[in-house]
Amino acid sequence: MRRMTAAIGAAVALAGLVTAAGPAAAGQSTTGQSTAGASTAGTSAACKPALTVLGALPGTEAAWPKEGVRALGRGTLSVGSSRGKPVYWTGTTVHRVPLPDSRVDGVLVGVNQSGLMVGWYTPYGTTSQVGFTYRAGDAAVTELPGAPRWGQELHVNDAGRVASGAYGDTSIRVYSGGAVERTLTLPEELGTDTHVYTVGGINSRGDVVATVNKVQPDTGGRVEFSYPVVWPGDGGPARVLPQAGTGANDSWVTGVSDDGTVVGSDWYGPGYQWTAWVWAAPYGTPGSSPGRLSTHPSAGFEGISPTTRTAVGSARFHPEDGGADQAVLWPGSGPVLALPRLAAGKTAEAVAVSDDDRAGGSAVNASGKNRAVVWKCASRQAYLPG
Structure confidence by residue, pLDDT tens digits, 179-219: 999 999 999 999 999 999 999 999 999 999 999 999 988 77
Q: Which of the 8 DSSP states describes residue 254?
A: E
Which residues are CB-neighbours of 145 under 8 A, at least 6 positions away? 175, 178, 179, 180
Polymer length of the chain: 386
In a domain, 8, yes or no: no
Report the chain's mean pLDDT, rounded to a whole number: 87
pLDDT at 23: 38
In a domain, 154, yes or no: yes
In a domain, 386, yes or no: no
In a domain, 58, yes or no: yes
Examine the pLDDT at 105 and tell me if it is beyond 70.
yes
In a domain, 11, yes or no: no
**Distance (Å, whole) CA 263 – CA 60:** 35
Per the structure, the count of domains in the chain is 1
Determine if the pTM surpasses 0.95. no
Element at 379 (helix H, strand E):
helix 378-381
pLDDT category at 386 given cuts 50, 70, 90 is confident
In a domain, 259, yes or no: yes
In a domain, 218, yes or no: yes
What are the Cα distances from residue 107, in Å, to 8, 12, 83, 229, 368?
11, 17, 10, 25, 22
User: Structural domain of residue 336, as residue ranges?
Assistant: 16-39+46-381
Q: What is the pLDDT of residues 225-275, one digit of tens each?
A: 999 999 999 999 999 999 876 556 789 999 999 999 999 999 877 667 899
What are the Cα distances from residue 129, in Å, to 114, 125, 156?
25, 11, 17
CATH of the domain at 201: 2.130.10.150
Q: Which of the 8 DSSP states describes residue 381?
A: H
In a domain, 6, yes or no: no
Q: What is the pLDDT of residues 301-324, one digit of tens each?
A: 999 999 999 999 999 998 788 889
pLDDT category at 42 given cuts 50, 70, 90 is low
